[in-house]
Chain A
Amino acid sequence: MRFERREHRPLALVLLTPVMAIVAALALSGILIAIAGAPVLEAYWRILTGAFGSRLSTTETLTRATPLMLTGLAAAVAFRARLWNIGAEGQLYLGAIAVAAASSHLLGGLPAAIQIPALLAIGALAGMLLLLVPLWLRLRFSVDEVVTTLLLNFVAVLFVSMLIDTVLKDPTAFGWPQSQSVADAAMLPKLLARSRLHIGLGLAVVLAFILQFVQQRTVFGLRSRAAGLNPAGAVFAGVPLGRTLVVVACISGGLAGLAGAVEVMGVKGYVTTDLSPGYGYSGIVVAMLANLNPLGVVLAALFTATMFVGADGMSRAMHIPSYIADVTVALSLLTMLTAIFFTQYRIRR
C-alpha cells in the first residue's frame, strides 16, 4: 500500500472531510463509552439533548461557542499565513484583564454606547501586543514562534493571576483571587432575555464573514496566503513579508484578545484564572476542523461547544465522566488531520 498525491481535490470530498472526521471521532469515543459500561447511542442522544434539549441548554451551547469562534478565527487567520500562533490562551487572558482594569479604573463612568466599543478595542489591543512580541522575535532573530507563543501563555496567565491577587483584587470577593468587576454599562446586551447569551455571538459570526471576504477578495488576503504557502515565492513577487505578517498577527492576536474581552463583558463580569477552560487551545482544534476556513470555524465551534455542554448533561444522566467530551474533541483533531491527508493523497495498492 502506498500513497499518491491527488491531482484534483473534488469539492464534495473537501466538504465531506470534516463530517467524516467527526463521525470517525464519535465512533472512536464510542468505544470508550462502551468500556465505561453505557449504551453508546443513548449516550450520544444524551449529548445532543444535553446541548440542545431545552432553551437553557441551547443558549448555553451558543454562549460557549462564542469565545471558541473568536479563538478559532484567531488560529485560522494566523495558520493560513503559516504564523503558528499557539498563544491564543494567553492573548485571551490579557484581553480579559485589560478590559477589567480599564472598566473598573478608567472608563467605568462612560455610557454603554461609548464604553463597550472602547473596551472591545482595548481587549483586542492587549491580545495584539502579546502576539507582536513573538512575531518580532521571529522576524528579527528567527525564533520559532511555536515555542514563544506557547510559553507566553503561562507568562500571561500567571501575570493575570498576580494582578487579580494584588492591584486588581476585588476587595468584596471574600479573599478569592478575583478581579474587580466591570461597570454595569460595560456588560454586553443580551441576545435573549433570561439567558447568558449575549451579542458577542453576533459579533463573532459577523467577524467570520468579514474575514472570509478579506481572505477571498482582498490584496491583503492574496498576499497573506502567498506568504504562508511559499515565503520565497512571495518575496520574489514583492509581497512585503514582514509587514504582511505583522497585520496577520494583529488580526490573530486581536481576535484572541477580543475573545477574552467578550467573555468578561458578556458572561462573567470579572476575571478569575478559570475564566477560560482552554478556549485558546480548543480554538486550534476548531480552526483545524474548519480547515482554516473562517465560515467553517463558526460550524466547528458549534460542534465543539455541543460536545462540551452536551457531555455535562450526559455525564449527569449516565454516570460517565464528562472528560469524554475532551477525548472526542481531541480525537476529532486527529481524525481531521488524517482526513485532510486523504483529501490530498489517495491510496494505491
Chain B
Amino acid sequence: MTSPIPVLDIVGVSKRFGSNLANDDISLSLAKGEILALLGENGAGKTTLMSILFGHYVQDKGQVLIDGVALPPGKPRAAIRAGIGMVHQHFSLAANLTVLENVTTGTESLWSVASRRSEAREKLLAISRRFGLTVDPDARLGDLSVGEQQRVEILKALYNDARILVLDEPTAVLTQVEAETLFATLKDMAAQGLSLIFISHKLDEVMAAADRIVVLRGGRHVAERRAKDTSKAELAELMVGRTVTRPVREASTPGEIVLEAAAVSVRAQGVDVLKAVDFRLRAGEVLGIIGVSGNGQGALAQLLSGTLARTSGDLILFGTPVEDRLSVADVVASGIGRIPEDRNREGAIGEMAIWENAILERVADYSRRGLVDRKAGKAFASRIIDQFDVRGGTPTSRTRLLSGGNMQKLILGRNLINRPRILLAAQPARGLDEGAVAAVHERILEARRAGTAVLLISEDLDEVMALADRIQAIVGGRLSPPITAEEASAQKLGLMMAGEWQAEQTHAV
C-alpha cells in the first residue's frame, strides 16, 4: 500500500443469487496510482463484485468505501459521482452517434436548452491529450475499430471525472498489438494518479500489467500477491484450485493427405476474403492457421464447414476433387467435425434441448421417414455427456444453461464421438477458463493420436505452438507457406502474422 487511506475499500461484501453464493465475504482495497488485477475463472464472482461496486447489484452484506466514505448501495449515479468509471466488456456505446455524442450522453441535463458542445469538445480533447488516447471526436462510432471503440469507452469514463477505473476483461476483444497499447496506456494513467482495477482470467496480461493481483475462486478471495513476487504457475494454481497443466503434443508421423486446397479464392459481398490459398492437411497431424482475427479466418472456416462456396481454385477431399460446393450435409456425412468460431451464435441453439443440439447437424442419422428418433437422440446426448464430461445439464435441459466450457465440450463431443477423419477447430478455446482450455486441448490431441486430421484456426500463439505440427499464417486473406513446429518461435510467428513472409518471397523471385 503506497498511501495510508485507500481510495477504494471493499469490506466483507457478500451476494447470493438463489442457491449460488456469488460473492462470499470479499474484502479488498485499492491505493491511489495502483493497478490491481482481479483474477479468476469464469463464474468466480469478479463481475458480480464489480457490479456491486458500480451499483448495478445490491450486496446482501458488506460495504464499499470511497476515500473512507460509504457508498450507498444500488445507486450507479452515486458511484459515478464518487469517481468510479466502468469499461464494460460489451461496450455500452451507440454505433450511430459520433464519439463526442457518445462521450457526452448522460452528462447533460435533459432540460438544458443549448448543449455545451464546444466546451465538451475541449474537455474531451484535453483528456485525450493527457492520456495519449487519440481519437477523432467527430468520427461515427460504428466506423471505428474495436480497439478504438474501447478507447472511447475509457474516454467516456474519464470524461465523467473517474478516479477509479474498472475494466472488465478489456483484452477479450483486442488483438495482441492493441492489448499491448492498452496496457501502456493503463500504466500511464496509473502514473498520473488514477487507480485501476482490471478483471481478467489471462495470466500473461495480469503479470504484465498489474502491480497487485487478487485471486477470486468460487466467490471467495483466495489469495493476494504482488506481481513481482509471484509466477504464472502459482497464479494458475491459485485460480483453478489445483495444478493445471496444458497438455503438449508428442511426436508422431502424419499419414496421407486428406484435404488439399490449391489456389482457393473466395469472394463474398464483393470482397476477396480468401486469395489463392494453398494448404495440405494430413491424417494424424494438427495444422495451425495463425493470424489476427478478421484476416480471412471466418471465410476459411465457413468454406470448410459447407456454409460458403469458393469462387475459384481446387479442393481435394480424401483424394477426390470437390466438384461444386460442399453442403453442410455433405461435410458432416463425409466425416468432417466442425467447431465453429462463435459457439453461442453458430455452435448451439440456446433455447433448444441439449439432445436436439447434439443431433441437429446429423438429423438424417437420427430420424426415420421424417420423424425424429427422440430416444436415439437422447441416448446419443447421454453418451456425449458421459464421455466428454459435460456438466450442468441432462439431455433434455436447455443448452443455454451450460457454461461456456461445458457447451464447448458438448460441441466437441458431438463431433469427436464418432471419430471424424477431419476436425475443423476455429478458435476452440476462446473465452474459456484455464481448466476448460486444458480439457479442450487434450481432446484435440486425443483426436490427433487417433488419426484425425485437425485444422486449428487460432489467434493464440501459445495454443498454436502447443498443438500444431505445422503452422501457416493468415494475413489479409492470404496464407503463408507452412513452417514446422520446430522452426516456429514466438518471434518468427509474430513476423509471419504481420505478413513478413511475403517480403521474403518477392526477394526470392
Q: Which of B345, B348, B360, B371 contacts A218 (CB 8 A)?
A: B371
State the Cβ distance, A25 to closest chain B Cβ, in Å: 27
B307 touches A236 (CB 8 A): yes
A236 and B305 in contact (CB under 8 A), knowing A222-B360, A230-B345, A349-B58?
A: yes
Most buried by B among A4, A223, A230, A349: A230
**How far is it, in angstroms, between the C-alpha of A238 and the C-alpha of B362 when the chains are bound?**
9
Most buried by B among A218, A226, A233: A233
Interface size on B, residues (CB 8 A): 31
Q: Which of B329, B332, B363 contacts A223 (CB 8 A)?
A: B363
**How far is it, in angstroms, between the C-alpha of A233 and the C-alpha of B371 when the chains are bound?**
21
A220 interface residue per 8 A CB criterion: yes
Q: Which residue of A lies closest to B364 (CB)?
A: A219
A219 touches B346 (CB 8 A): no
A238 touches B58 (CB 8 A): no
A236 and B328 in contact (CB under 8 A), knowing A4-B17, A219-B363, A230-B345?
A: yes
What residues of chain B lie closer than 8 Å to A236, measured between beta carbons? 305, 307, 328, 338, 340, 346-347, 361
**How far is it, in angstroms, between the C-alpha of A235 and the C-alpha of B329 when the chains are bound?**
11
B351 touches A232 (CB 8 A): no
**How far is it, in angstroms, between the C-alpha of A239 and the C-alpha of B357 when the chains are bound?**
12
A140 interface residue per 8 A CB criterion: no
State the Cβ distance, B74 to closest chain A Cβ, in Å: 9
Most buried by B among A4, A7, A218: A7
What residues of chain B lie closer than 8 Å to A235, measured between beta carbons? 307, 328, 346
Q: Which of A202-261 contact B (CB under 8 A)?
A: 217-223, 225-226, 229-230, 232-239
Q: Which of B305, B346, B370 contacts A233 (CB 8 A)?
A: B346
What residues of chain B lie closer than 8 Å to A232, measured between beta carbons? 345-346
**A contact face: mostly helix, strand, loop, or mixed:** helix
B352 touches A226 (CB 8 A): yes
**B contact face: mostly helix, strand, loop, or mixed:** mixed
Q: Which of A219, A233, A237, A238 contacts B372 (CB 8 A)?
A: A219
A217 touches B352 (CB 8 A): no
Q: Which residue of A lies closest to B58 (CB)?
A: A349
**How far is it, in angstroms, between the C-alpha of A234 and the C-alpha of B357 when the chains are bound?**
10
Q: Which of B305, B363, B401 contacts A7 (CB 8 A)?
A: B401
**How far is it, in angstroms, between the C-alpha of A239 and the C-alpha of B363 when the chains are bound?**
10
Most buried by B among A218, A220, A232, A238: A238
Q: Which residue of A lies closest to B18 (CB)?
A: A7
What residues of chain A lie closer than 8 Å to B18, measured between beta carbons? 7
A229 and B363 in contact (CB under 8 A), knowing A4-B17, A7-B401, A218-B370?
A: no
A225 and B352 in contact (CB under 8 A), knowing A233-B347, A237-B328, A238-B328?
A: yes
B350 touches A222 (CB 8 A): no
B306 interface residue per 8 A CB criterion: yes
What residues of chain A lie closer than 8 Å to B352, measured between beta carbons? 225-226, 229
A222 and B340 in contact (CB under 8 A), knowing A230-B345, A236-B307, A238-B306?
A: no
B370 touches A220 (CB 8 A): yes
**How far is it, in angstroms, between the C-alpha of A229 and the C-alpha of B306 when the chains are bound?**
21
State the Cβ distance, B56 to closest chain A Cβ, in Å: 9
Q: Please, what's the 1-or-0 string for B302-340, where 1 marks a CB less than 8 Å from any CB in chain A?
A: 000111000000000000000000011101100000101
What residues of chain A lie closer than 8 Å to B338, measured between beta carbons? 236
What residues of chain A lie closer than 8 Å to B332, measured between beta carbons? 238
Most buried by A among B306, B328, B332, B360: B360
B349 touches A234 (CB 8 A): yes
State the Cβ distance, B35 to closest chain A Cβ, in Å: 31
Q: Please, what's the 1-or-0 string for A338-349, where 1 marks a CB less than 8 Å from any CB in chain B?
A: 000000000001
Q: Which residue of A lies closest to B327 (CB)?
A: A238
What residues of chain B lie closer than 8 Å to A221, measured between beta carbons? 372
B345 touches A233 (CB 8 A): yes
B356 touches A237 (CB 8 A): no
A222 touches B372 (CB 8 A): yes
Q: Which residue of B lies closest to A234 (CB)?
A: B349
What residues of chain A lie closer than 8 Å to B350, measured between beta carbons? 229-230
B96 interface residue per 8 A CB criterion: no
**Which residues of B are in contact with A by a Cβ distance under 8 Å?**
17-18, 58, 305-307, 327-329, 331-332, 338, 340, 345-352, 356, 360-361, 363, 367, 370-372, 374, 401
7 interchain residue pairs of minimum CB distance: A238-B328, A236-B346, A237-B361, A237-B360, A230-B349, A233-B349, A229-B351
- Given pairs A235-B346, A236-B338, 5 additional interface contacts (CB within 8 A): A4-B17, A218-B370, A222-B360, A229-B351, A232-B345
Could you list 9 A-B pairs, sorted by A, with CB under 8 Å? A7-B401, A222-B360, A222-B372, A226-B356, A229-B349, A229-B352, A230-B349, A236-B340, A238-B360
